[in-house]
Structure 1
């Protein structure tokens, strides 16, 4: 699909090859208030945008975790592994992993159909944590079945000697407000002292989910508080 090919090309400044995993997303499986199904059959684009905004807004400044899983399982437990891929650190091979992160300063761009935010990544290389600067991030909701998370270039340092620039894109195929989750196919690349790229499937597990007496699906025009 052209939309994901273009996103992947823009995300990988290192000139990496296309990422076919992102082409696998044809619909978003959406859960809210105990009801699940394809988003396009039960949700409008405005409802999907507002739901994502409310999920991020309720978790503004709170740590979320990544769980590496499969679309069939979509599991995220306490012992679930983070997503990882191969990164060559100079002459030393290793594994670059992200355990999660934090979204802050969540905003809503109604004209661009985006949830805007800054992002801090919690990552490591060969088990040693990186120190990463905040970067700009956005979730674009083109339609109820086309939702994309994209982090602009952000800088990370490993033990004071490893300087790296990273990019990340995630094609969302799963949103569960009841469990406070979003999932999809991710693609990540790093250049600098360490270099590598990888793809996979993961869940973003947020600490706060939609409560039974809440409604995060109200359309943007009716929900004045999200502006």
Structure 2
């Protein structure tokens, strides 16, 4: 409890000073969408509302369950033995690689009018191979502007590494791939940390959820939304 009270003070100081800015995010022109064995450009077969419902159901069916991040390429979009996406972090006097291995989404809700899926996000990460711990981000938002423009933004959240490394992190992903049959999304990510540890990076990754859309179900129909 004392540690988290100190964390609140630290976060306030970091936010007042200004967090590390995210690097520029790759622009996505088309989202590839797969469901019920059919794949193709999302805008040719799905409306923005259908994509929104699909994202909501994917999150809702995996609420409170661990998902993993897989570093890959847009050409491969694989999540077999792929490692986690990483970038360089200067952890005080210790340089090394910080890796986002996965996380959890909780309190998943749908804002249909704003075309947003809302949730809390808890990141799982390592620095030089040693796991850290993060507080839940209270403002995780996935916005479906159109069938071809989907942005995941996990906002700002506090993380601690080994009791001494205090950081505020931000994460954004421009989604270019949704596969309900495999329970995954893919896209270009940007991540930054500021505080005792500082660094930022970009790349391409798959978010692999444990639960996929079962055969015979339709997660993007109107009745799939609350």
TM-score of the pair, normalised by structure 2: 0.89
Report the Cα distance in structure 1 between the residues aligned to 2:179 and 2:170, rounded to whole angstroms.
Answer: 25
Is 1:55 aligned with 2:54?
no
Look up the SS of the partner of 1:51 in the other structure: helix
| Distance in 1 between residues matched to 2:165 and 2:21, nearest whole Å | 21
Question: How far apart, CA to CA, are the structure 2 residues paired with 1:17 and 1:205?
Answer: 23
Q: How does 1:11-160 map to 2 (within 5 A)?
A: 14=19, 16=21, 18-19=23-24, 21-23=25-27, 25-77=28-80, 79-136=81-138, 137-160=140-163
Over residues 173-213 of structure 1, what are the superposed CA-to-partner deviations in whole Å (9 max), with x where a residue is unaligned?
00000000100000000000000000000000000000111
Q: Secondary structure at the match of 1:22?
A: coil
Instruction: Indicate if the aligned counterparts of 2:165 and 2:196 stay in contact, CA closer than 8 A.
Output: yes
Match of 2:12 in 1: none
So what's the TM-score if we normalise by structure 1?
Answer: 0.89
Q: Is there any run of 5+ residues in structure 1 with no aligned partner, and where?
A: 1-12
Question: What per-residue deviation string (whole Å, max 9, x for no partner) do you get for residues 28-71 of structure 1?
Answer: 00000000000000000110000000100100000000000000
1:138 Cα deviation after fit: 1.1
Change (3 A) 1:93 1:116: same
Output the CA distance in 1 between the equivalents of 2:29 and 2:97: 30
The Cα of 1:226 is off from its aligned counterpart by: 2.8
- The 4+ residue runs of structure 1 with deviation greater than 2 A are 13-18
Question: Within the alignment, does 1:205 sit opposite 2:208 as a pair?
Answer: yes
> Structure 1 residue 111: deviation in Å?
1.4
- How many residue pairs are counted as aligned between the two chains? 208
State the 1:15 CA deviation.
Answer: 5.1
Q: Distance in 1 between matches of 2:214 and 2:22?
A: 42
String of CA shifts for 1:112-157, please: whole Å, max 9, x gaps. 1100000111001111111110013111001100001001100000
8 Å contact from structure 2 (residues 102, 123) kept in 1: yes
Segments of 5+ residues of structure 2 without an aligned counterpart are 1-17
Preserved contact between residue 23 and residue 190 of structure 2 (Cα < 8 Å): no
Q: Describe the SS at the equivalent of 1:74.
A: coil
Q: Report the alpha carbon displacement of residue 18 of structure 1 after superposing the two structures with TM.
A: 4.6
